[in-house]
Structure 1
Amino acid sequence: MSNVRNARWLPWLAIFGSVVFLGLGTSWAKHTLFPAVGAQGTTAVRVGFSALILWLLCRPWRLPLSPADRRAVLLYGAALGVMNLSFYMALRTLPFGVAVAIEFSGPLAVAVWASRRALDMVWVLLAMAGLALLLPLGHAVSSLDPVGVLWSVLAAVCWASYILFGKRIGHLPVGHSVSLGLAMAALVVIPVGVAHAGSALLAPSVLLVGLGVAAVSSAVPLSLEMVALQRLPPQAFGIMISMEPAVAAMLALLLLDEQLSAVQWLAIGLIVLASMGSALAVRRSEPAPRAAQLPAEA
């Protein structure tokens, strides 16, 4: 009986572990790598090592791709690369939890756009209310840096694009599509990181921390999510992953001392609630593509 109970809890614990490890890795990167190589260099090191780890683990060269799949992988990987770069650029001036909350509007928009339920308007209004509390609209509405917000919005657009392109390769094995996508993402962000940080990227401390960040924030979360995806329906997965902005804000508070106002906490709560509601409304007959359900900062 205990084995059955443990098996039931396993996918939920896997998702929670994935979100926590992702937040830990990103907080570690912001605290340690940002001062050394900047957001661009951090993205290059993290995505580059993540791609290398998954390339060696999944060995995607064993499965040939059709021309259509190759084009889809290129678009999917490019969106993933720009998404990661935009997100880290936003983290230069935005609190971690706030950046994640704004970025979450991308997948939420895709989920709502694909649905025709009247109830989804409730989730749209909740998300809009949350974003209205976060975005620096008008005069002194928020203390958030407008440039950082724009980077977060770009990350949201890229996340939406990443999901749409991911649908085209949803028939491929998860490890295969993600490893190829990360390889393409690395080709996008590494030149940017090299142009910004130069030889500083080759410092032993940067390489060592970059490898650790890649393992903690990519390899471990992706592995845990693969476990969960095999055992949960898409809407249940979406509900659990929706807690990411709140977890990110809590970790940033504990690890980076990033204090948020009551209004910002309320805004994050509204966006999390909108994401959970949208995921809960997804029909079981319309499963989301596996590759598109992986974390934003893959």
Structure 2
Amino acid sequence: MPPRSNAQIAIAIGALLIAMVSYQCGASLAKHLFPQVGAQGATAYRLGLSALILLLWRRPWRRSNRKGDWRVLWGYGLAMGAMNLVFYLSLRTIPLGIAVALEFTGPLALAMFSSRRLVDFVWIALVIAGLVLLLPLRGQAQSLDPVGVMYALAAGVGWVLYIVLGQRTGAAYGKDAVTLGTTIGALVAIPFGVAHAGSALLSPALLPYAFGVALLSSALPYSLEMVSMTRLPARTFSTLLSLEPAVAAMAGVTLLGERLSLLQWLAIGAIIVASAGTALSVRRPAVAEPPLAN
């Protein structure tokens, strides 16, 4: 691999790591807004203001002659909007790290379904063990809220669509993909936010926090993820992404004061190991693996 390619991959890895930290810091900040505007209002802030920031920065209308599949673009944007909304709804009742771990089972299941090797049953067993420890299957006082769990799992489905359609959208629309997708996602989130919070969304005291959520949770991480998604091999991208639940758990502990039990930490660890193992055990192609998109 030429030195230039090595540098590009190093930049892509750094961009993804920064994106994960930024995303979880933004989610932590958004959770502080729930008492004022609810999860729906925080989602409207996140995607609506992110779209405004990206539109003013990227100005995609200057490249309106770009040809691409609009159905894929709209699918990507709608998936982004729905994923963000149900994920924030899950954060109302379950800790950040657990919500991300549950959400992560979506892309993890997608990766597992594409392989039939014996070693994959080890990773499947780890995921099942993690879910058994996390899901509200026991009649204990510390079991998780089932509604919050369902929202987090629904976010996992949205994450699968976001990854699959994001690859194709990035290949077709390049750097404008995130801007256009976020704008479409905002069309999903804003009506829910207005219906729930109404004029509270226009409170001057909340707008600085709202812009912080928009920048940290969407505008910055989605742009950095697209850099990584279109430059890293799928194997590398998936392996690094397995760190997301750990980053989320640490953000919840340090920024939100959340406390997880030992079993919950073990469950998150099992899902992280299963995700990394799945990515690392993907059968290597005969030739060098290409990036996710060009």
Q: Which amino acid aligns with 1:101?
A: A
Relative to the length of structure 2, the TM-score reads 0.87
Q: Return 118-127 or 56-65, whichever deviates more.
A: 56-65
Change (3 A) 1:257 1:188: same
C-alpha contact (below 8 Å) 1:234/1:284 kept by paired residues: no
Match of 2:268 in 1: 268
Change (3 A) 1:49 1:216: same
Task: Indicate yes or no: 2:25 matched with 1:24.
Answer: yes
Relative to the length of structure 1, the TM-score reads 0.86
Q: Return 237-246 or 51-60, whichever deviates more.
A: 51-60
State how far apart, in whole Å, the 1-side matches of 2:15 and 2:166 are.
Answer: 22
CA RMSD of aligned residues (A): 2.6
State how far apart, in whole Å, the 2-side matches of 1:230 and 1:160 are.
Answer: 16
Q: Return 237-246 or 6-15, whichever deviates more.
A: 6-15
Q: Which amino acid aligns with 1:30?
A: K
CA-to-aligned-CA distance 1:188-223 (integer Å, 9 cap, x gap): 110000000000001112222111111122222234
Tell me, which stretches of 5 or more residues in structure 1 are unaligned?
Answer: 292-298
SS in 1 for 2:38: helix
State how far apart, in whole Å, the 2-side matches of 1:47 and 1:170 are.
Answer: 18
Q: Give the deviation of 1:240 after TM superposition.
A: 1.4
Give matches, 1:63-142, under 5 Å.
Answer: 63-64=64-65, 69-140=69-140
Task: Indicate yes or no: 2:151 matched with 1:151.
Answer: yes
State how far apart, in whole Å, the 2-side matches of 1:195 and 1:75 are.
Answer: 24
Match of 2:182 in 1: 182
Change (3 A) 1:160 1:232: closer
C-alpha contact (below 8 Å) 1:134/1:142 kept by paired residues: no
Change (3 A) 1:177 1:137: same
C-alpha contact (below 8 Å) 2:137/2:143 kept by paired residues: no
Q: Which amino acid aligns with 1:22?
A: Y
Q: Which amino acid aligns with 2:24?
A: G
Match of 1:13 in 2: 14
C-alpha contact (below 8 Å) 1:40/1:85 kept by paired residues: yes
Tell me, which stretches of 5 or more residues in structure 2 are unaligned?
Answer: none
Q: Give the deviation of 1:74 after TM superposition.
A: 1.5
C-alpha contact (below 8 Å) 1:127/1:274 kept by paired residues: yes
Q: Which amino acid aligns with 2:14?
A: L
Task: Indicate yes or no: 2:159 matched with 1:162.
Answer: no
State how far apart, in whole Å, the 2-side matches of 1:239 and 1:104 are.
Answer: 12
Q: Which amino acid aligns with 1:110?
A: L
Match of 1:295 in 2: none
Give matches, 1:48-59, under 5 Å.
Answer: 48-59=48-59
Q: Return 262-271 or 48-57, whichever deviates more.
A: 48-57
Change (3 A) 1:101 1:72: same
Identity between Structure 1 and Structure 2 (%): 53
